[in-house]
């Protein structure tokens, strides 16, 4: 049997008397945000946002990185959903995420400038491409080497035979073809 004095907001069940208080709180928060956009009700979320900005990743991506560092494995789908809900809706930030964010901020304060280019922090970013140093030169060298091997192999096979009908295998000499026709 449902209680007619309860209302549901998100995952929370509120009594109608406290429901109006909840709505008033939301409206006050909205007004504060409109008047002062820098206003942050959750300083711990600001910590996560700052660290994410330093790494040039999203906040949830930072949470995934923190989870991986703390637990040594990627999150399961269910864990991801629970974390997203806890972080975005309930403003709950796990201790391991705060610890990870503080480490990133400390490394940035110490002057490490290449944090945002470290591929380890972009493991969940499908658009992040790491460039191989001197990759173009190595590729061109490999293509030239392989092409040279093919050219030398064809040249060596032509020198071995006297008069061939084609440059590529199978090699039939003109004299062999004339003998078969007799």
How does DSSP assign 123-158, residue by residue?
TT-TT--PPPTTHHHHHHHHHHHHHHHHHHHHHHHH
How does DSSP assign 72-97, residue by residue?
SSPPPHHHHHHHHHHHHTS----HHH
Model confidence at 146: pLDDT above 80 = yes
Give residue-wise pLDDT tens across range 5-16.
444 444 444 444
Beta-bridge mates of residue 147: none
Give residue-wise pLDDT tens across range 105-140.
998 888 876 777 676 676 667 665 566 677 788 889
Return the structure tokens found at 152.
């030398």
Beta-bridge mates of residue 164: 173
DSSP SS3 for 6: strand
In terms of C-beta density within 10 A (0-12 exposed, 13-18 middle, 19 or more buried), how is residue 56 classed?
middle
pLDDT for the residue 156: 81
Give residue-wise pLDDT tens across range 91-109.
888 888 899 999 989 988 8
Q: Which pTM does this prediction carry? A: 0.50
pLDDT band of residue 90 (cuts 50, 70, 90) is confident
Q: What mean pLDDT value characterizes the chain?
A: 75
If one compares 48 and 5, the residue with the highest pLDDT of the two is 48
- The Cα 87–Cα 44 span in angstroms is 11
DSSP SS3 for 15: strand
- Count CB-CB contacts under 10 A for residue 63: 25
């Amino acid at each position: 049997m449902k209680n007619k004095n309860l209302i549901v907001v998100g995952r929370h069940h509120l009594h109608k008397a406290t429901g109006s208080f909840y709505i008033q709180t939301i409206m006050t928060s909205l007004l504060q945000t409109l008047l002062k956009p820098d206003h942050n009700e959750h300083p711990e979320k600001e910590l996560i946002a700052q660290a994410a900005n330093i790494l040039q990743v999203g906040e949830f991506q930072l949470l995934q990185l923190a989870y991986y560092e703390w637990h040594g494995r990627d999150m399961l789908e269910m864990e991801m959903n629970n974390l997203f809900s806890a972080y975005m809706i309930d403003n709950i930030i796990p201790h391991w995420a705060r610890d990870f964010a503080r480490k990133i901020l400390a490394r940035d304060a110490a002057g490490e400038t290449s944090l945002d280019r470290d591929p380890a922090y972009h493991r969940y970013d499908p658009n992040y491409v790491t460039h191989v140093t001197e990759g173009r030169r190595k590729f061109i060298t490999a293509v030239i080497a392989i092409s040279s091997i093919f050219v030398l192999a064809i040249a060596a096979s032509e020198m071995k035979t006297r008069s061939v009908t084609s440059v590529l295998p199978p090699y039939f000499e003109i004299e062999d073809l004339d003998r078969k026709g007799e």
